[in-house]
Structure 1
Amino acid sequence: MKNIVLIGFMGTGKTTVGRRLALRLGLEFIDTDAEIERVAGKTIQDIFARHGLIRFRSEEALVIKRLSLQGGRVVATGGGAVLDSKNVDSLKKNGVLVRLTAPPEVIVQRVGKRRNRPLLNHGGALLETVQRLMREREEIYGQAADFTVDTGALSKDETVERIVSFLRKDVD
């Protein structure tokens, strides 16, 4: 069985939906950011602060490559994981890529209280930063995805059911 890989911008629900989807399907759930922290023995914020973005992306690529060799899991990726085409290639070899989206205003509501997002901690207006980053990544996310669900107006369970429905059609 292939992995079900959740991709998309931060705050779209990849981890939360991923856990529920894994439970619904009886599969193991892996969050790549949590896996990076486990392997590196440091938090994502620590990696960014001490070693920078390049080191973080390197750690991320190693984790993705390793996870893509195994199947039958639900994998939630970090928001920037698919910015590297090698990561996309690795994930697609043994996975179905499901993109989660949400309007920028919804993302700001979801992540605005948590300032543990390194890419959002550079000052400036949060909404404008989210909008800019989403514009920059839109085409890449769209090209990588096999299926897209907008989580902005859906409950977590409704999102899971849309993904399950897509997977059933994809298997038939």
Structure 2
Amino acid sequence: MEYRNIVLVGMMGTGKSSVGQALALRLNWVYEDTDAAIERTQGMSITRMFAELGEPFFRKVESETIERTLQGRHQVVATGGGAVLAEHNRILMKRSGLVVALKASAETIIERVRSDQSRPLLQGGVEDRVRHIMESRKHAYDFADLHVDTDGKTVGQIVDEICSRLVRERA
């Protein structure tokens, strides 16, 4: 594989973490999750960070984490759903490798995240919040090199699709 890194972007609940781990295993690359890295370096959950320090603080730390992480090589990097909102992050992602956007329907995302209390942007009603966030970000992932729909697919099927499309991209 000729790509320096593969960066997964997409809404929460599209499968970035699950797919990222499986893809890294398939490629024998390192898996990095920027949200997990943020929680490790800050010593607190993202939910708590949002509540106590605010979203602007979180977004600043997120950008710093993405910049540091993307300096590596042969990594599959799962980013937070809102990481693409900062132009600086999008530029870094494109420069560091191949950007793959995972997408799913609102119904699929709602089903996947309904019981997850660790998502600060979902406080106040999952269905309405998911639909609102999807609408506000409907073009946020357009910059990606590949777009993969995860609806009704297993993690293995999604990884197979990404790998087969990577081969075609290089051909």
Deviation at 1:56, TM superposition (A): 0.4
Q: Which residue is 1:33 aligned to?
A: 35
Question: How do 1:125-136 and structure 2 match up within 5 A?
Answer: 126-136=126-136
Task: Find 1:87's aligned residue among 78, 86, 89.
Answer: 89
Alignment deviations for residues 98-134 of structure 1 (CA, whole Å, 9 cap, x no partner): 000111111111000111100001x24x222211111
Identity %: 43
SS for the counterpart of 2:139 is helix
C-alpha separation in 2, matches of 1:69 and 1:36: 16
Q: Which residue is 1:60 aligned to?
A: 62
| Structure 2 portions without partners, runs of 5+ | none
Provide the TM-score with structure 1 as the length reference.
0.95
Deviation at 1:78, TM superposition (A): 0.2
C-alpha separation in 1, matches of 2:69 and 2:95: 11
Task: Find 1:97's aligned residue among 82, 94, 99.
Answer: 99
Counterpart contact for 1:68–1:93, Cα < 8 Å: no
Counterpart contact for 1:22–1:73, Cα < 8 Å: yes
Taking only aligned residues, the RMSD between alpha carbons, in angstroms, comes to: 0.9
Q: Which residue is 2:140 aligned to?
A: 140
| Structure 1 portions without partners, runs of 5+ | none
Query: Whose helix fraction is larger, Structure 1's or Structure 2's?
Result: 1
Alignment deviations for residues 68-97 of structure 1 (CA, whole Å, 9 cap, x no partner): 222210000000000101000011111111
The count of aligned residue pairs is: 169
Deviation at 1:171, TM superposition (A): 2.0
SS for the counterpart of 2:73 is coil
Q: Which runs of 4+ in 1 moved over 3 A?
A: none
Deviation at 1:168, TM superposition (A): 1.2
Provide the TM-score with structure 2 as the length reference.
0.96
C-alpha separation in 2, matches of 1:101 and 1:31: 18
